[in-house]
Amino acid sequence: MPRKLKTIPGPSRLSKIIENLTRAPRPQLNSVKSLKVTLASRNDHFGARHFVKEDLPRIRYVNPALDIQVNKLPKSLQDSWQPEMIVEFRDGSTQTLNMNQKWSSAIFQELMDLGGGAPWQRWKKERIAAGLPIVDPPTVNVKPSQSMSTEEIIFGVGRPRTGAAAVLP
C-alpha cells in the first residue's frame, strides 16, 4: 500500500488575523482622543457597519489608548437618521463625519485625513506617485469560475450588485 503524502498546512487563523491587523497603511491617530460611532444595528448603514467590522479593530490594535464607543441602535423603515462618527481631538475640539451612503474605505480615508498626521500624508503621496489608490478597495469574496477574468473576480465586474453594493454608489 502506498504511503500517504504529508500535506503542509496553510496559514493559521491567528496569523491571518495578525496579518490583517498589521497591514498597511498603519492607522495611527496621534491627535485623536476618542471616536464615537452611531449606526443601525441591522438592515441599513452598510458602509458604516463594514467600517466597524473591518477597520475599527485595526485602529484599536494600533491605538490601544484611544477611547472608541460604538452605538448600534435599532432602526425601523420609518426612521430616517444617518450614521455618524464624532471625532474628539486631544485639544478638545470635535468634528462629526457623516458616514451615510459611503464605502468603508472612504470612511477610513476621511478619518485618516483628519487625524493621521504626517505618516498618513506620506502614505498618500507615495500611493499617488505610484498611481495606486490611496486605500485599497474592498475585495469581493467570489469563488472563481473558469469563465471569469481577474478583474471580475477581484472587483465583481459584470455581476449583479446585491447587498451593500446595490445600495452604495
Domain boundaries, the chain: 21-131, 139-169
Least Cα distance to 20 among 66, 70, 54, 45 occurs for 54
- State mean pLDDT over 13-30: 90
pTM beyond cutoff 0.95: no
**156 pLDDT above the threshold of 60:** no
Amino acid, res. 56: L
Give the model's pLDDT for residue 143: 45
pLDDT at residue 163, as a whole number: 59
Q: H or E element: which one contains 164?
A: helix 164-167
The CATH class that applies to domain 21-131 reads alpha beta
Confidence (pLDDT) at 100: 92
Average pLDDT over residues 124-147: 72
* Residue 135, pLDDT score: 87
Q: What percent of the chain has pLDDT over 90?
A: 56
Q: Which helix (H) or strand (E) holds 16?
A: helix 13-21
Q: Which three cell numbers mark 14?
A: 491567528
Cβ pair 116, 29 in contact under 8 A: yes
Calculate mean pLDDT across residues 48-60: 93
